[in-house]
Amino acid sequence: MRSLLKKLLLIYPFIYPVIFMSYAQDYQISLLTCDPGEELYSAFGHSAIRVLDKESNEDLVFNYGTFDFNTPFFYVKFTQRTLDYMLSVSSYERFLYEYNYYERGIREQVLDLNQEQAQKVVTFLKINYLPENRFYRYDFFYDNCATRIRDVFESVLGRQLDWNEESDPPRKTFRNLIDEYVYPLPWADFGIDLALGSVIDVYASEREKQFLPDYMEAAFARAKIVGDGPTRPLVKSDHVVLQFEERDAGMDFFNPYIVWWLLAIGAMVLTYVGSKKARLFKGFDIVFFSVLGLLGLLILGLWFFTFHSQTKYNWNIIWAFPGHLLMAIAMLRNIMRPWLKKYYLFALIMANLALVFWLFGVQSFHPSIIPILLVVILRTNFLYYNWEKYQATHRLN
């Protein structure tokens, strides 16, 4: 009896996979890649995992990109990056219904996993879906709906997953990658460049590019499974699930480029008339520098008082400086102090310094700020040389 037991223990490691496979369910695992939507939150596309149980016909989609709008202080937490995203599960039919309603295309890549690997993926997802595991702290670049899926397969396949990266891929910064998707939304593009700092002006590795669903789809298409029999592509087949006509990506007339250049032209005309009539037209400067000062406070808050790593070292604060708000208040109250004239010179230097930072690649600013910088340079120069003179003649208005 003991000799029989010993023999069974010796052959157990070899017969276990056979036993496991005989009881394992027949799963088909797919990566779903969804086209961008018209809103900013959907402008970068989406990724999800489809799990089809061929025996029971249960067809589910595991989605790491959901959050609860009813969360207390939702917008405060979203701004501070203290809002948790979660893994949700829905039927494949419901998932298709939603994307068909919003006319967003879907492509499917069926993965060539053996049943043991597929079972491990399903087990991983089910454990992740437990109430104590389903929530995670979202990070747009490093921990989002796409990178979570990448991490699932890296955890399950380990060294068997070879990303088969290109030997000489195009070099793109994180900001370059974002710009590819937000160009149809010019104001969103401007806001993103205003809010995010120089930390996103570094080149992204091929793995890091997978924070964008399209790039992850391309990475899956290149990837291979090794060490599991003959090397084979990770993707067995791919097809289009939903397809719609491409939306017109034309830019509206009301966009930052046109608006800020109109502002600059207006400031030039105002300054020319003011120099001819010995008037400051300080109302323009009070409003203009108040807005810049408020933007500076926003940048300061995102830099120091949130958990976003991408809003650090934001040198937009050089030209949108919080101190401009104090300057505007001093002008509103007709304060004549030596520090005010010095501040005009300081603001002038800071605007020029922003150009230097841009030219030397310290940070890439949104191109539409060029006319804003011109207005800052023009008006601070005009105020520096004329504030005392025009105040003495009581022509401050």
Q: Is residue 21 within 8 Å of residue 42, measured between CB atoms?
A: no
Taking each helix axis from N to C end, the angle separating 174-182 and 186-195, rounded to the nearest 10 degrees, works out to 160
Report residue 391 as tokens: 């105040």
Q: Are 109 and 217 in contact (CB under 8 A)?
A: yes
Residue identified by tokens 């056979």 is: 18
* 84-91/232-233 β-pairing: unpaired
Which H helix or E strand runs over 59?
Answer: strand 59-66
Write out the residue limits of the CATH 3.90.1720 domain(s) in the chain. Answer: 27-169+206-242
pLDDT tens, residue order, the chain (397 aa): 444 334 433 443 444 343 344 345 799 999 999 999 988 888 999 999 999 999 999 999 999 998 776 666 555 566 666 678 999 999 999 999 999 999 999 999 999 999 999 999 999 999 999 999 999 988 889 999 999 999 999 999 999 999 999 989 999 999 999 999 998 899 999 999 999 999 999 999 999 999 999 999 999 999 999 998 899 999 999 999 999 988 766 667 789 999 999 999 999 999 999 999 888 899 999 999 999 999 999 999 999 988 888 999 999 999 999 999 999 999 998 887 889 999 999 999 999 999 999 999 999 999 999 999 999 999 999 999 987 776 655 444 5
pTM assigned to the model: 0.86
Nearest 10 degrees: Cα torsion 331, 335, 339, 341: 60
Q: Which of 216, 223, 174 is nearest to 199 (CA)?
A: 174
Contact indicator for 380, 284 with CB cutoff of 8 Å: no
Record: fold of 27-169+206-242: endopeptidase fold (from Nostoc punctiforme) (3.90.1720)
- Coil, helix or strand for 98? helix
pLDDT in tens, 118-162: 999 999 999 999 999 999 988 889 999 999 999 999 999 999 999
CA distance 376 to 153: 51
Q: Where are the alpha helices (DSSP H) in 29-141?
A: 74-80, 92-101, 115-128
